[in-house]
Structure 1
Amino acid sequence: MGRLGGIIKKEFYHIFRDKRTLLILFGIPIVQIILFGFAISNEIKNVKIAVLDMAKDGHSQKITEKILSTSYFDLDKYLNSTDDINKTFREGRIKATLVFPPKFSEDLKKRNTANIQIISDASDPNTGTQIGSYLQMQIQGYLIENEMSQVYLPPPALINTEIEMRYNPELLSVYMFVPGLITIILMLVCTMMTSIAITREIETGTMEVLLASPMHPFTIILGKVIPYLLLSFLNASIIIGLGKYLFEVPVLGSYSLMIGEIILYCLVVLALGIFVSTIAETQQLALMISLFAMFLPTMLLSGFIFPVENMPLPLQVVSSIVPATYFNIIIKSVMLKGVTIAYIWKETAILCFMFIGLIGISVKRFKIRLDD
């Protein structure tokens, strides 16, 4: 027992002396529980909606006020015509539109029934269904309140709510997962494989041999990352092809625009992989950073599975510096909404600035590391 106790003590000493082991044992579980606790939320909160009120009467305004008085919905804008609905959806600012037909109050008073149309963005089918259900619940709640008070409407009044699921009428989950998988796989292949490849050369000492050759350092780095750029693009093409021909996921936008955006995102995450290689001393550390510091935020904070607007402000700030957040918006918009560059130029510009910043920092740090 004494020998066993000695081995146990020795192992504890090694564990508590190794910062990386402590990080794996305690740091990662803490980060995961915080991320999963705050980021993973299926609740509807602060969802941006638009209202097309063609009636502009008492009941339509009161229903709108009731919906906006909750923490579930925020008004983005009032629309002027049905032509504005698709345009506003393509801009990516709203998740649903509430449409009141003309003579809404008059229909309620004369016929004791009226119609409201709810148009929900179902590119994320779960969120789209929840938003439609929450809006329907608020409308029926208004009706119940008025029937109980018997002030505005003669009972029993009826409001029919027609829910239209735009961009994914059949509510297929594959519409969400195919664009999201492109985002995740490109992040994994480009960042993780690039960082490990470069770190392996430095760790084994072969990078110095390459640098001693007549080739310029930039040429060496370029030669290391181009294969992963091509393989990543091939991966993305396979996913899009399988999604379209096997699962019938549409590609409504321009293929040339989609290809350009995929290449831009690949360049950003390749630059991220080079940056990881400048701060990781070993392949294991590069792998750990790529998996836990890059993969988890991409999976949880990019809006791929859980809406960013449902997250607390600190995590929304973290989400804003994750490249996948912007590419996820771009790829979904191009594939499912058929948008042009006019609707996604902001996200594209942010990715361009990210690439310039990351490649500049990475090249500078890489030179300093090699000089050491």
Structure 2
Amino acid sequence: MKQLLTFVKKEFLHVLRDRRTLLLLFGMPVVQILLFGFALSTEVKNTKIGVLDLDKSQTSFEIISKINANQYFDIDKNLKSIDQAENAFKGGKIKMIVVIPTQFSADINSGKKAQLQLITDGTDLNLANQIYSFMSNILLDFYGQQTLQQNSGVQAEIRMLYNPQLKGAPNFVPGVMAFILLIICVLMTAIAIVREKESGSMEILLVSPMKPYIIILAKAIPYFILSLIILVSIIILSVTVLDLPIKGNLILLFGISIIFIITNLLIGIVISILTKTQQTAMLISLVGTMLPTLMLSGFMFPVENMPIPLQMVGNFIPAKWYYQIVKNIMIKGTGLEVVWKHVLVLFAMMAVLFIIAVKKFKIRLE
């Protein structure tokens, strides 16, 4: 019994002295509770919408005031034309546009059924259905359930922009592209330099005349080529099997995808430089990239529903920006004039990661 207690004490001391193990044991539950509690929310909160009021009557003003007074929607834009409404969707911030027709108040006063059009962004089908459901409840609360079910009253007509067939592919294909490329690039390169350290071949590289950036490029190029092949495979499957045509510029999509791939490769290189074992590199690459990408990029859960601090953390995730770019180019057919800010952010991340990788590798060489 005494020997057992001695070994138990020894194991406790071993765990308590290992800071990385303590961080994994106590840090991960805290992080997961916070993420699952705040990020994984299917509620509709503070969703930005636009209003196109063609009637401009007291009745339409009352509807707009009712919508703006609840916690679910924020009226971000008061639009003046249908063309302006469609352009508002391309920016990605507006999730729904409420169109009030010219004869709206006249139809209600004459006892006719007035049409109210709700245009949603069909690229995220689940979110669009949730928004429509919440908006319908607001209208029901305003006019009364009995009024809406009679011949007179208001009838809300929904229109799914960019996805009238209500397909699921426009929702998950851009997210899958971002997720697969990130995981493969980061995971493969994360163990590249660590493998050299564990095998002892790093000593040969230390005395070689090659410059640090040459070694980094040599490690990254094979995975870069494999990532391009995977990207082409995903696009071909999306177009042929899932019947998801690319509405935007294919060359622009490939160019931005290359920036995203390089950024992910550099993340893996930095991880491999800063870690000593392949297991640690794999753990950091999976936990540090997979979970944030799934939870904070907007792929599975709306970013607008998250607290401001988590939204700020999500801005440092390359997959968030790439996911929005792919949605705009593939589904909405927009060009560089819409996504140039997202591209600039990705390019800045790539440049910063490359500088960090080269400088950290120089330190290792000295």
Q: TM-score, normalised by structure 2?
A: 0.94
Deviation string 1:287-342 (CA, Å, 9 cap, x unpaired) is 12111122211111011101111001110110111111111100111111111111
**Could you tell which deviates more after superposition, 166-175 or 234-243?**
166-175
Secondary structure of the 1:163 match is: strand
Q: CA shift at 1:259, angstroms?
A: 0.3
**Could you tell which deviates more after superposition, 45-54 or 5-14?**
5-14
Distance 1:278 1:294, change over 3 A: same
For 1:130 and 1:262, locate their aligned partners in 2 and report how far apart those are by CA, in whole Å.
31
1:55/1:103 contact within 8 Å kept: yes
Aligned position for 2:216: 221
Q: CA shift at 1:115, angstroms?
A: 0.6
Q: CA shift at 1:348, angstroms?
A: 0.4
Aligned position for 1:245: 240
Gaps of 5+ in 2: none
Is residue 306 from structure 1 mapped to residue 301 from structure 2 by the alignment? yes
Q: CA shift at 1:211, angstroms?
A: 4.0
**Could you tell which deviates more after superposition, 187-196 or 255-264?**
187-196
Q: Give the counterpart letter for 2:132 in structure 1.
A: G
Q: Give the counterpart letter for 1:87 in structure 2.
A: N
For 2:85 and 2:77, locate their aligned partners in 1 and report how far apart those are by CA, in whole Å.
11
1:140/1:159 contact within 8 Å kept: no
Out of 260, 276, 280, the position equivalent to 2:275 is 280
Q: CA shift at 1:146, angstroms?
A: 11
For 1:305 and 1:170, locate their aligned partners in 2 and report how far apart those are by CA, in whole Å.
21
Aligned position for 1:123: 123
Q: Give the counterpart letter for 1:274 in structure 2.
A: I
Deviation string 1:204-257 (CA, Å, 9 cap, x unpaired) is 331231343343332221111011111112112212222221122232111101
Residue identity over aligned pairs, in percent, reads 45
Aligned position for 1:68: 68
2:298/2:320 contact within 8 Å kept: yes
Q: Give the counterpart letter for 2:186 in structure 1.
A: T
Aligned position for 2:51: 51
Alignment of 1:11-90 (within 5 A): 11-90=11-90
For 2:355 and 2:119, locate their aligned partners in 1 and report how far apart those are by CA, in whole Å.
44
Gaps of 5+ in 1: 148-152
Out of 165, 169, 176, the position equivalent to 2:164 is 169
Q: CA shift at 1:26, angstroms?
A: 2.2
Secondary structure of the 1:111 match is: coil
Q: CA shift at 1:145, angstroms?
A: 9.4
For 1:115 and 1:351, locate their aligned partners in 2 and report how far apart those are by CA, in whole Å.
43
Out of 322, 336, 341, the position equivalent to 1:346 is 341
Q: Give the counterpart letter for 2:237 in structure 1.
A: L
Aligned position for 1:150: none
For 1:240 and 1:353, locate their aligned partners in 2 and report how far apart those are by CA, in whole Å.
26
Q: Give the counterpart letter for 1:14 in structure 2.
A: H
Tell me the number of residue pairs that the alignment of Structure 1 and Structure 2 aligns.
Answer: 365
Out of 251, 255, 269, the position equivalent to 1:256 is 251
1:191/1:273 contact within 8 Å kept: yes
For 2:356 and 2:315, locate their aligned partners in 1 and report how far apart those are by CA, in whole Å.
19
Alignment of 1:200-211 (within 5 A): 200-211=195-206
In angstroms, what is the RMSD of aligned CA positions? 1.9
Out of 325, 331, 352, the position equivalent to 1:357 is 352
Deviation string 1:33-69 (CA, Å, 9 cap, x unpaired) is 2111110000001111111111011111110110011
**Could you tell which deviates more after superposition, 214-223 or 314-323?**
214-223
Deviation string 1:54-91 (CA, Å, 9 cap, x unpaired) is 10111111101100111111112111111122211111
Q: Give the counterpart letter for 1:269 in structure 2.
A: N
**Could you tell which deviates more after superposition, 205-214 or 92-101?**
205-214
Q: Give the counterpart letter for 2:131 in structure 1.
A: I
4+ long deviations beyond 4 Å: none
**Could you tell which deviates more after superposition, 15-24 or 325-334?**
15-24
Q: CA shift at 1:15, angstroms?
A: 2.0
Aligned position for 2:231: 236
Alignment of 1:101-116 (within 5 A): 101-116=101-116
Q: Give the counterpart letter for 1:24 in structure 2.
A: L
Q: CA shift at 1:173, angstroms?
A: 2.8
Q: Give the counterpart letter for 1:62 in structure 2.
A: E
Q: TM-score, normalised by structure 1?
A: 0.93
2:247/2:331 contact within 8 Å kept: yes
Q: Give the counterpart letter for 1:81 in structure 2.
A: S
Secondary structure of the 2:329 match is: helix
**Could you tell which deviates more after superposition, 206-215 or 261-270?**
206-215
Distance 1:284 1:63, change over 3 A: same
